[in-house]
Amino acid sequence: MTKDTSNQMWGGRFAAGPDAIMEAINASIGFDQRMAAQDIAGSRAHAAMLAKTGILTDTDAEAIREGLLTVLSEIESGTFEFSTALEDIHMNVEARLKDLIGEPAGRLHTGRSRNDQVATDFKLWVRDQIDAAISGIEALIRAFVAQAEVGADWVMPGFTHLQTAQPVTWGHHMMAYVEMFGRDLSRFKDARVRMNESPLGAAALAGTSFPIDRAMTAEALGFDRPAANSLDAVADRDFALEFLSAASICAMHLSRFAEELVIWSSAQFRFVTLSDRFSTGSSIMPQKKNPDAAELIRAKIGRIFGANTALLMVMKGLPLTYSKDMQEDKEQVFDAADNLMLALAAMEGMVKDMTANRDSLEAAAGSGFSTATDLADWLVRALNMPFRDAHHVTGSLVALAESKGCDLPDLTLEDMHSVHAAITEDVFGVLGVHNSVSSRMSYGGTAPTRVREQIAAWQAKLG
């Protein structure tokens, strides 16, 4: 076998053979360096606790503290040299700390393991992302509330099956998304409460014989308490899965509104005009204004869904406690978090900048026999007709209007009498779209009064 043939099995960068492949598959520094700040925060808390409990001298603890601050400064300034041979962020930081302060660096790892260290770092990183997501969702909700306030009494068609159903208000439609993203907000907040337990001090899996104070490190890192079981502390990735689950539901909501923006901004609908900041032109068709930001949000959401599924697949077959499979927990979460925050920011910008076209909305609101339900309700109220009979009469009137090429309000009283002789002129008072939305006064309904109540309630919540 020639040399060239033997190297084909390894391919370009792995021409050196199995050692290069093992280093590449084993190392995580290419992505887990994103947790540098969290890793150093955890190490500083651990060193302070070791000194407080007498496991570490104050002199060594001070040297470690100063050394870790130097390492953090180097990383933040971009001068730190990461090494693949050192595998991960933990060993890279520890090796550089040893270069800086010598022997005391070797004492830092007393009473802990990379297993509880990585669990702590990752949990701190995810917690930071939850906080960022909460802020991003709140900003998006404010943008929807502002749109709702402007158009609380503007009429538009409400849809089922993407077919005109009943008139609603623009404000009511905007507030529907406020409720959706409000649930996302509560999911992230709820997940944050549940995950806020510190793994640090669980060590490899069984705890440690050193007299450490896990409550002290938990408090220093902003956790509510230490995790109660050392096996679970190092094996748990539920916090990442909950983040991805909440992110996936939030992403689904983003995609639903992105789809509406794509439809609404089309020449066929003209419900909204998107700003130039979130649109692009065509290379060949000068008239085009494409809703690219909305389309990209709609597409990027798949990456968040994929990350959720991928981590579930990683975790589903793992016995307690730590397995190297769990190194594959981070890249998906990092990517999902990046794409969620980008999508939230882009959607907030589009919602803030978009202009609802009131005339187009109102023209569409009255099409498609959208007040048919109002007519049926009037027959029940005014003529004491059973609703099923009223439904049948209304259907006959819709068919009549279709045959005449007009809408229900355009039928004459004589036309209506041809279907049911007891109908009076009062019926025309419920057939206009503004009359229709104003009548929907039930709690949670589309009446402008109710919409403004919803807006006020959310403004109070948001502060």
Residue ranges making up the domain that contains 344:
114-363
- 2 in a structural domain: no
What's the pTM value of the predicted model, to 2 decimals? 0.89
CATH number for the domain harbouring residue 49: 1.10.275.10
CA max distance for the chain:
100
* Digitized pLDDT (tens) for each residue of the chain, 463 residues in all: 344 444 444 455 555 566 777 777 878 888 889 999 999 999 999 999 999 999 999 999 999 999 999 999 999 999 999 999 898 999 999 999 999 999 999 999 999 999 999 999 999 999 999 999 999 999 999 999 999 999 999 999 999 999 888 899 999 999 999 999 999 999 999 999 999 999 999 999 999 999 999 999 999 999 999 999 999 999 999 999 999 999 999 999 999 999 999 999 998 999 999 988 887 655 455 455 788 899 999 999 999 999 999 999 999 999 999 999 999 999 999 999 999 999 999 999 999 999 999 999 999 998 867 778 888 888 998 899 999 999 999 999 989 988 988 888 888 998 889 999 889 888 887 888 898 899 889 999 999 999 999 999 999 999 8
How far apart, in whole angstroms, are the C-alpha atoms of residue 46 and residue 61? 10
Boundary residue ending a domain (81, 107, 133): 107
Residue 236 sits in the same domain as residue 171: yes
* 6 within domain boundaries: no
Domain with residue 274: its CATH number is: 1.20.200.10
Query: Are 349 and 379 in a shared domain?
Result: no
Q: Is residue 12 part of a domain?
A: no
**Same domain as 161, residue 121:** yes
Same domain, 85 and 203: no
Domain shared by 94 and 154, yes or no: no
Same structural domain, 153 and 59: no
**Do 156 and 40 belong to one domain?**
no
Q: Which of 318, 334, 363 is the last residue of a domain?
A: 363
The reply to whether 211 falls in a domain is yes
Domain count, the chain: 3
Question: Do residues 177 and 28 share a domain?
Answer: no
**CATH number of the domain that 405 lies in?**
1.10.40.30
- Catalytic positions, please? 161, 282
- Domain-located, residue 9: no
Same-domain check for residues 189 and 202: yes
Residues 423 and 454 in one domain: yes
User: Do 389 and 307 share a domain, yes or no?
Assistant: no
| Structural domain contains residue 219 | yes
**Domain end (from 305, 340, 363):** 363
**Do residues 334 and 441 both lie within one domain?**
no
Residue 14 lies in a domain: no
